[in-house]
């Protein structure tokens, strides 16, 4: 040290600093003098020092990950801890970005290994990890995405080409799946199975290659929801399931009938399609346990074939395929199709002069629901109508028994007014004209099933990264080996159609709406697409949708205390008029009838305000053509602090009269007296029922008070002689007589209560029977049913065909004619109880003009021969869009047999239809 001296020593240190690059770097402005030893260890892990700037810390992290990627999760832990200790927004944002791009923490890696009952330090081979992964998938198919993510994390830490090849196989997309199976997307289920069998019989594939092929057919089966393919897969992969666990899986017991079990299974498949394999396994176990042919047939048939078969006739209505959590949407679409004015308006939209302009001047005036309408709302609404028109055309003319709605239609129907239209705006050059229907039809043509999105995945739909395709379909089979996958590493950027697909799928799977939300979305979009006929005083747009579905109520606030100055109770009387598309009635504890529910809705209320007591009254000032009533079934249990669905019975009739609820009748003294009397009678019934409930209440001994008295009296009578002789027991003849008297008293009171309730209910039912109170009649037209619980379930709808006086049940793909009893008499013994959720009534004088659920068009080369009631045969031409038929025939083209190829004969209800050849025409004509 003395040789160099202080100067030479300092110079040597400077040189050393320069060589080690320990000075001259960017440093942080934070005070780093008090870094703890534990914090310092994180800097040491990254090869950094505590005073480095944030950017240099990031450089150290990137360098470590690049040179030692297998331990990248340790470096991520260090970077995250440093970002937190520094409270650096810059570092925190980068940490979040790295994690979103797939970086893992030590805890992520630990949890990933734990998924397969492993730890990171285990000397498990790649093949063993894959075997554990496949076993996990086989046991819990619905958790496939979860296990895939775990395998992805492990693959990132092990940097194994073999694991990467397996991961690529497991994340195979549907188009690649078809390619692996050597099939096109148009192939039938039978052809796909035959192709699979031919493929595996013609080659000697390795275990990994077979896994690729099996994954491909599983993908196709799940996307198609094909019962045939899924049954084929189940037969190949027998997995035993305990029958008790199977019943518990559905929340059922052995006492439940086959129909209920099948209904619950269908609901679960619709609501959780990712569990379809597990659902079918549980159903198979139950079928074996019950030796049920019906359940076995369901497992074999599964979803309905879309090709018309057997009894499916040309003039019968078409069902709608369920493309996701959309059974309520299918019910709604069938309901809208049955409304003739709406159907015609949708079909004629493109040629109509009522299409809203996209000019700023026109849009600025539009207000719907008191809110302004944007150009995007109008574009979205017009595209919705185009999509709806396509569906209506198919329901009218399709030869298939089932029509498949496009996912674009479902997205537009379910998305709210705030959800953008951008995913449709950049499709093609059509964006300048606003016409994107053709582009949509080319790219996504009525697909039968949605691509699955894991429920726990968070996705930014406009930033979705497409999984790199490491090889085309042929390469996946031909070049796969037990240890590696030779393939291209090129990463594709998401296309417009892929972004749109993600957006649609997230809306369809990410939100579980009910009918009323969907109705609001649909009506808003139709109104947004059309020009207003006029505006009301508040600036609200008036159009044909308003006239069809919307009415107005007037709310009156009436002070009960006279004004201190004017001494007039009417001086502060206030009124407010509001639009409504449905009336919300509460079933409460039920049972109750529709008038009881409506009376509660329109009942006067006395409220205590700062200005004193006031009376709040509600009445209808204007009725719509179609009155929609929502039944409030979601209730809240204050004890359990959770929502539940009320299954209380709501009774309704074929026709209801609304005169008593009209504002114009509020000043009718006679009408108001009738309403007041009904209100007092209902209050009396409520008191009587409460008293009856207390008398019949089951006590801790599992008996009512009356039953306890009867049991006691009988025991005393049976042991009277011995008890009277027992000096230790104070029982006399009077004791028994007192008990008898009390039993008689309770019996008489119960009889009085029952008779009084019956008498009061008769008075209520006949109170408005006078013709003066029955001028505004509405006939029931549709009943929406919900079966399930508050957080899941299935919808279907009953729709009345007034021309044939029949009810049809529209249950997705299946449409049946049902008895009136099924619509009006709810089976309260069925579990879950199918409960009316939404009721639709049509004005009595508009029934024939407005309601036409059966609307089918026979192809030009076909003709209907219809037998009239009087037995004569009418030959009819092509059925018009409105359901009517053209009675004239153009015979100038030649003989009738040359004009048509087939004719059909049926009764007026189209119950039987026989296809005849032209040569039989003369014989029929003569007869």
Residues noted as catalytic: 327, 794
Contact (CB, 8 A) for 548 and 579: no
82: enclosing H helix or E strand: helix 72-86
CA dihedral 266, 270, 271, 276 (to 10 degrees): 80
CA 393 to chain centre: 24
The two tokens of residue 583 are 């009336």
CA distances from 575 to 95, 103, 134, 556 (A): 58, 62, 68, 5
Show Cβ contacts of residue 892 under 8 Å, excluding neighbours closer than 6 positions.
Answer: none
Alpha-carbon gap, residue 823 to 830, rounded angstroms? 14
Contact (CB, 8 A) for 269 and 449: no
Integer-rounded Cα Rg, in Å, for the chain is 36
Show Cβ contacts of residue 55 under 8 Å, excluding neighbours closer than 6 positions.
Answer: 26, 90
For the beta carbon of residue 404, count every other beta carbon within 10 angstroms. Answer: 21
Alpha-carbon gap, residue 151 to 67, rounded angstroms? 23
9: enclosing H helix or E strand: helix 5-20
Buried-state track 323-333, b at ≥16 Cβ within 10 A, e below 16: bbbbbbbbbbb
The two tokens of residue 588 are 């409460």
For the beta carbon of residue 149, count every other beta carbon within 10 angstroms. Answer: 17
The two tokens of residue 54 are 């944030």
CA distances from 183 to 306, 785, 869 (A): 20, 40, 52
The two tokens of residue 470 are 């490491």
Show Cβ contacts of residue 515 under 8 Å, excluding neighbours closer than 6 positions.
Answer: 328, 331, 332, 630, 784, 795, 837, 838
3-state secondary structure of 603: coil
Contact (CB, 8 A) for 810 and 357: no
Alpha-carbon gap, residue 262 to 145, rounded angstroms? 27
Alpha-carbon gap, residue 219 to 171, rounded angstroms? 10
3-state secondary structure of 541: strand
Q: List residues bridging with 842 in a β-sheet.
A: 626, 779
Contact (CB, 8 A) for 59 and 26: no
Contacts by 490-498 with C-beta closer than 8 Å and gap 24+? Answer: 491/465, 491/466, 492/466, 492/468, 493/466, 494/464, 494/465, 494/466, 496/423, 496/426, 496/427, 497/443, 497/444, 498/464, 498/466
Contact (CB, 8 A) for 315 and 803: no
Query: Token match 């944007």: residue?
Result: 374
* Ordered DSSP codes for 160-190: -HHHHHHHHHHT--HHHHHHHTT--TT--HH
Contact (CB, 8 A) for 410 and 505: no
Alpha-carbon gap, residue 308 to 813, rounded angstroms? 11
Alpha-carbon gap, residue 315 to 379, rounded angstroms? 35
């Amino acid at each position: 040290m003395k040789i160099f001296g202080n100067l030479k020593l300092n110079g040597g240190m400077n040189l050393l600093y320069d060589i080690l690059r320990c000075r001259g770097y960017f440093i942080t402005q934070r005070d780093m003098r008090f870094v703890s030893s534990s914090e310092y260890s994180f800097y040491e892990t990254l090869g950094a020092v505590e005073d480095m700037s944030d950017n240099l810390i990031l450089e150290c992290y990137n360098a470590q990950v690049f040179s030692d990627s297998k331990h990248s999760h340790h470096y991520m832990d260090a970077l995250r801890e440093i970002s937190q200790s520094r409270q650096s927004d810059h570092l925190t944002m980068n940490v979040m970005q790295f994690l979103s791009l797939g970086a893992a923490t030590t805890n992520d890696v630990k949890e990933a290994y734990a998924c397969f009952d492993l730890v990171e330090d285990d000397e498990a081979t790649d093949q063993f990890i894959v075997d554990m992964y496949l076993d996990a998938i086989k046991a819990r198919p619905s958790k496939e995405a979860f296990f895939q993510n775990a395998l992805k994390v492990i693959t990132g830490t092990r940097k194994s080409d073999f694991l990467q090849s397996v991961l690529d196989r497991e994340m195979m997309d549907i188009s690649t799946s078809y390619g692996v199976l050597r099939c096109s997307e148009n192939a039938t289920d039978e052809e796909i199975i035959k192709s699979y069998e031919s493929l595996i019989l013609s080659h000697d594939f390795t275990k990994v290659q077979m896994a690729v092929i099996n994954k491909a057919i599983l993908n196709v089966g799940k996307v198609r929801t094909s019962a045939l393919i899924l049954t084929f897969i189940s037969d190949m992969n027998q997995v035993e399931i305990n029958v008790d666990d199977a019943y518990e899986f559905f929340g059922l017991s052995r006492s439940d009938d086959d129909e209920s079990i099948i209904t619950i299974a269908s609901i679960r498949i619709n609501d959780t399609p990712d569990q379809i394999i597990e659902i079918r396994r549980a159903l198979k176990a139950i079928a074996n346990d019950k030796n049920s042919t019906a359940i076995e047939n369901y497992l074999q048939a599964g979803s309905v074939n879309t090709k018309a078969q057997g009894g499916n006739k040309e003039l019968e209505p078409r069902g709608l395929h369920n493309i996701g959590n959309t059974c309520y949407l299918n019910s709604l679409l069938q309901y809208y199709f049955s409304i003739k004015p709406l159907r015609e308006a949708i079909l004629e939209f493109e040629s109509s002069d009522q299409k809203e302009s996209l000019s700023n001047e026109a849009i600025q005036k539009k207000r719907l629901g008191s809110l302004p309408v944007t150009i995007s709302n109008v574009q979205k609404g017009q595209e919705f109508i185009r999509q709806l028109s396509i569906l209506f055309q198919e329901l009218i003319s399709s030869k298939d028994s089932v029509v498949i709605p496009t996912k674009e239609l479902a997205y537009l129907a379910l998305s709210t007014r705030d959800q953008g239209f951008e995913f449709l705006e950049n499709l093609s050059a059509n964006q300048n004209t606003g016409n994107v229907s053709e582009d949509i039809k080319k790219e996504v043509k009525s697909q039968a099933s949605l691509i699955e999105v894991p429920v726990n995945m968070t996705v930014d739909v406009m930033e979705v990264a497409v999984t790199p395709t490491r090889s085309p379909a042929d390469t996946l089979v031909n070049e796969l080996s037990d240890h590696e996958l030779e393939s291209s590493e090129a990463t594709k950027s998401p296309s417009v159609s892929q972004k749109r697909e993600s957006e649609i799928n997230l809306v369809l799977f990410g939100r579980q709406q009910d009918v009323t939300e969907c109705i609001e979305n649909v009506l808003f979009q139709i109104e947004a697409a059309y020009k207003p006929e006029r505006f009301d005083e508040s600036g609200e747009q008036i159009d044909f949708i308003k006239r069809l579905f919307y009415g107005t109520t007037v709310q009156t606030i009436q002070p009960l205390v006279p004004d201190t100055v004017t001494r007039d109770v009417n001086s502060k009387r206030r009124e407010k008029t509001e639009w409504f598309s449905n009336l919300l009635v509460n079933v409460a504890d039920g049972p109750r009838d529709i008038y009881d529910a409506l009376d509660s809705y329109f009942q006067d209320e006395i409220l205590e305000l700062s200005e004193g007591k006031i009376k709040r009254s509600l009445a209808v000032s204007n009725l719509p053509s179609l009155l929609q009533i929502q039944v409030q079934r979601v209730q809240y249990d204050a004890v359990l602090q959770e929502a539940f669905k009320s299954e209380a019975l709501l009774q309704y009739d074929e026709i209801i009269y609304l005169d008593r609820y009209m504002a114009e009748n509020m000043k009718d003294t006679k009408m108001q007296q009738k309403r007041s009397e009904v209100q007092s009678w209902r209050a009396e019934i409520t008191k009587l029922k409460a008293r009856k409930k207390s008398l019949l209440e089951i006590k801790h001994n599992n008996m009512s008070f009356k039953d306890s008295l009867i049991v006691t009296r009988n025991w005393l009578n049976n042991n009277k002689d011995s008890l009277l002789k027992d000096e230790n027991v104070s029982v006399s003849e009077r004791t028994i007589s007192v008990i008898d008297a009390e039993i008689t008293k309770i019996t008489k009171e119960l009889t009085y209560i029952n008779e009084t309730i019956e008498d009061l209910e008769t008075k209520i039912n006949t109170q408005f029977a006078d013709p003066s109170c029955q001028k505004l009649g509405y006939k029931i037209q549709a009943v929406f049913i919900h079966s399930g619980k508050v957080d899941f379930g299935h919808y279907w709808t009953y729709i009345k065909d007034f021309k044939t006086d029949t009810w049809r049940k529209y249950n997705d793909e299946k449409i049946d004619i049902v008895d009136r009893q099924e619509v009006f008499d709810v089976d309260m013994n069925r579990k879950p109880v199918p409960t009316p959720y939404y009721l639709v009534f049509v004005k009595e004088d508009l029934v024939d003009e407005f309601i036409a659920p059966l609307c089918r068009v026979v192809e030009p080369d076909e003709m209907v021969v219809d037998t009239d009631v009087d037995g004569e045969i009418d030959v009819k031409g092509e059925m018009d869009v409105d359901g009517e038929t053209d009675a004239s025939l153009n015979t100038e083209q030649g003989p009738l047999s040359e004009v048509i190829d087939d004719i059909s004969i049926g009764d007026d209800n189209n119950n039987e239809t026989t296809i005849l050849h032209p040569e039989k025409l003369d014989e029929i004509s003569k007869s």
